[in-house]
């Protein structure tokens, strides 16, 4: 893998980790494993799989993973891989659910310049090496705001009300963000809590697709900070960004 560029590396590892997770879930489910074990095994096996391959391919880069021990040493690195080995752990633990993801991103001096989001249950990888086309223009239907299945974001509810938008509920952050990339939804406005690994790869892919990507107040997303808590995110069609920000902030 050392001969792959950063985009190819992220995509190939995300895809391979996704295959591992699909096979692991099928095996554990067939063996009658409880959902907590399926989720725990998925988190840790995917984490070790991804981190080991990144360490071999890019030994001089730092890594920040949702399932790994953080180190302040990453703060002195210009290149930091930001990884969520299994985004949507709860969805992964439910047989038949497909709205979970694998996130691998590279932040260079804080900017998410490389990303891959795998949706393994549907066999798809979105990545910055093959930027998705800008989603097609709506055919006159209502704007669609995407929000969490388990708890609706306050920002999403405000935007939906003020823009008279339809609401779509979906699982993981990666699945929701990729719904904007594909044009299956128009606005993903999240508040209430995330970490850098929840948004880095989706943000990189969405940026490569030409979408608006920012904090919920329109400020840029900055990664590899001392505290990885990054509680809000806005991904939407560029032509809707001003309307969304006005709906939120006046």
CB count within 10 Å of CB 83 equals: 30
Query: CATH 3.30.540.10: which residues of the chain?
Result: 6-127
Q: Which string of DSSP letters, residue by residue, matches 70-119?
A: --GGGGG-SEEEEEEEEE-HHHHTSTT----EEEEEEEETTEEEEEEEEE
Enter the DSSP assignment of 163: T
144-175 pLDDT, tens digit each = 999 987 777 889 999 999 999 999 999 899 99
Whether domain 6-127 has CATH 3.40.50.1820: the reply is no
What CATH architecture is 144-249?
3-Layer(aba) Sandwich (3.40)
82-124 pLDDT, tens digit each = 999 999 999 999 999 999 999 999 999 999 999 999 999 999 9
CB 188 within 8 A of CB 177: yes
Query: CATH 3.40.190.80: which residues of the chain?
Result: 144-249
CB 128 within 8 A of CB 104: no
Band (pLDDT 50/70/90 cuts) for residue 44 is very high
The rounded distance, in Å, linking the Cα atoms of 66 and 83 is 6
Instruction: Write down the residue that tokens 């910055």 correspond to.
Output: 128
């Amino acid at each position: 893998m050392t001969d792959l560029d950063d985009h190819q590396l992220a995509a190939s590892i995300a895809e391979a980790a996704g295959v591992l997770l699909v096979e692991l879930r099928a095996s554990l489910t067939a063996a009658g494993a409880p959902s907590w074990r399926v989720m725990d095994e998925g988190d840790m096996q995917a984490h070790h799989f991804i981190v080991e391959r990144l360490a071999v391919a890019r030994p001089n880069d730092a890594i920040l993973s949702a399932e790994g021990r953080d180190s302040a040493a990453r703060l002195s690195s210009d290149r930091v891989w930001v990884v969520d080995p299994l985004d949507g752990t709860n969805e992964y633990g439910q047989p038949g659910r497909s709205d979970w993801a694998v996130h691998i991103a590279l932040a260079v001096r804080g900017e998410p310049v490389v990303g891959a989001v795998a949706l393994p249950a549907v066999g798809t990888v979105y990545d910055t090496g093959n930027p998705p086309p800008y989603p097609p223009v709506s055919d006159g239907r209502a704007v669609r705001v995407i929000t969490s299945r388990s708890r609706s974001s306050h920002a999403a509810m405000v935007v939906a009300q003020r823009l008279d938008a339809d609401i779509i509920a979906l699982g993981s952050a990666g699945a929701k963000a990729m719904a904007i990339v594909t044009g299956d939804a128009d606005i993903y406005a999240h508040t209430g809590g995330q970490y850098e690994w929840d948004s880095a790869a989706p943000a990189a892919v969405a940026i490569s697709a030409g979408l608006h990507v920012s904090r919920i107040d329109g400020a840029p997303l900055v990664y590899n900070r001392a505290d990885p808590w990054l509680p809000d995110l806005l991904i939407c069609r560029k032509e809707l960004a001003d309307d969304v920000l006005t709906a939120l902030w006046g």
